[in-house]
């Protein structure tokens, strides 16, 4: 798959300039789960069927648990070269009883077998059901989340794979991990201690947290043993999470302020939906949301986020 995508990502335009073949990139979705369609999208999906069919799409379908790694990989294989798989353990599922002790070794083996795969969905989440209800208690669950997240980040760094990160109400611990990784990387191996690209999907943090994350990136680059010109940190915004699911005007304002704080070359479009039937509508909703908040045309928002998505994936599409 990597060579196929690499060959298809760029085509030669009449004026001799390289342009992206994929008009839209969905940087985070879960169609392999074959989940329920989003109720809010039903009417629009029906009305816009013909227009949505014309969209050229590249999507990253993200596994959530050990149980659906193979399903994710199989789905991506059947939909090459327009679907990139991402495999990892979501923070909601770190306490599953069927998670084998050698899960990390198995993850590494699968990633080596599939050089075009991203690591994801991984991260930290204070809102996970297990945090509230698991018999082990809140502290144990959050500790386990951090343990599994750090292990997957190290593996992604070792194998040079981008990561798709879920972080909800855990930006403090997330910053601690990033800063710790930065310090441990002293001595000429700073860049190698981090994955080549880190995408915070459906970002629900603040504008100040965007600034702090970008400061970490600047430190990575400043201390790096190699000259890094391209972005490391990216921020995805979905219509589903960052608009539909916002329950108050305060949360809407926070999301808009965060999006305005992200440099244009770091913004990703995403649907974050579990049904293939909703992917195109979800990601175009994301693009429309980004366009409105950043006061740019929908066309430019689509172009910018597609370019960013392809750059995010460069580590797995140029092998």
Rounded Cα–Cα distance for residues 163 and 230 (Å): 16
Q: Can you give the pLDDT at residue 247? A: 85
What are the two backbone dihedrals, phi and then psi, of residue 14, each rounded to the nearest 5 degrees? -60, -30
| DSSP-derived 3-state class of residue 22 | coil
* Residues 269-280 pLDDT 10s: 999 999 999 999
- Two tokens at 256? 């808009």
Residues in CB range of 258: below 8 A, 6 or more apart: 203, 204, 205, 206, 207, 209, 210, 235
Distance of alpha carbon 51 from its chain centroid, rounded? 26
Q: Can you give the pLDDT at residue 23? A: 84
Is this structure's pTM higher than 0.85?
A: yes
Q: Can you give the pLDDT at residue 46? A: 67
Dump strand ranges (E) for the chain.
Answer: 10-12, 18-20, 24-29, 57-62, 83-87, 118-125, 163-168, 198-200, 233-238, 267-270
Q: Can you give the pLDDT at residue 12? A: 32
Residues in CB range of 276: below 8 A, 6 or more apart: 31, 34
Question: Low-confidence residues of the chain, pLDDT below 50?
Answer: 1-20
* Residues 31-83 pLDDT 10s: 999 999 998 888 776 667 667 777 889 999 999 999 999 999 999 999 989 99
Rounded Cα–Cα distance for residues 142 and 148 (Å): 10
Q: Which of 304, 243, 314, 229 is nearest to 272 (CA)?
A: 243
């Amino acid at each position: 798959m990597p060579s196929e995508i690499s060959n298809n990502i760029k085509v030669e335009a009449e004026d001799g300039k390289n342009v992206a073949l994929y008009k839209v990139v969905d940087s985070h979705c879960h169609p392999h789960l074959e989940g329920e369609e989003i109720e809010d999208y039903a009417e629009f999906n029906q009305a816009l069927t013909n227009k949505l069919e014309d969209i050229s799409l590249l999507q990253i379908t993200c596994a959530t648990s050990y149980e659906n790694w193979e399903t994710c990989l199989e789905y991506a294989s059947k939909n090459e070269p327009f679907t990139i798989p991402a495999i990892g353990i979501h923070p909601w599922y770190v306490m599953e009883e069927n998670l084998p002790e050698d899960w990390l070794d198995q993850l590494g083996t699968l990633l080596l077998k599939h050089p075009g795969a991203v690591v994801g969905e991984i991260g930290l989440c204070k809102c996970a059901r297990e945090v509230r209800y698991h018999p082990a208690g809140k502290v144990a669950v959050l500790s386990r989340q951090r343990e599994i997240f750090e292990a997957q980040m190290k593996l992604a760094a070792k194998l040079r794979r981008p990561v798709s990160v879920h972080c909800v109400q855990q930006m403090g611990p997330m910053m601690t991990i990033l800063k710790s990784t930065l310090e441990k990387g002293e001595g000429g191996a700073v860049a190698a201690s981090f994955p080549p690209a880190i995408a915070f999907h459906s970002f629900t943090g603040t504008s100040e947290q965007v600034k702090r994350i970008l400061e970490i990136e600047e430190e990575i680059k400043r201390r790096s043993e190699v000259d890094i010109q391209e972005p490391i940190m990216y921020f995805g915004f979905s219509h589903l999470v960052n608009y539909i699911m916002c329950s108050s005007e305060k949360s809407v304002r926070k999301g808009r302020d965060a999006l305005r704080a992200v440099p244009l070359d770091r913004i990703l479009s995403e649907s974050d939906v579990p049904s293939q039937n909703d992917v195109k509508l979800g990601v175009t909703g994301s693009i429309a949301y980004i366009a409105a908040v950043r006061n740019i045309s929908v066309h430019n928002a689509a172009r910018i986020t597609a370019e960013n998505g392809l750059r995010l994936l460069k580590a797995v599409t140029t092998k």
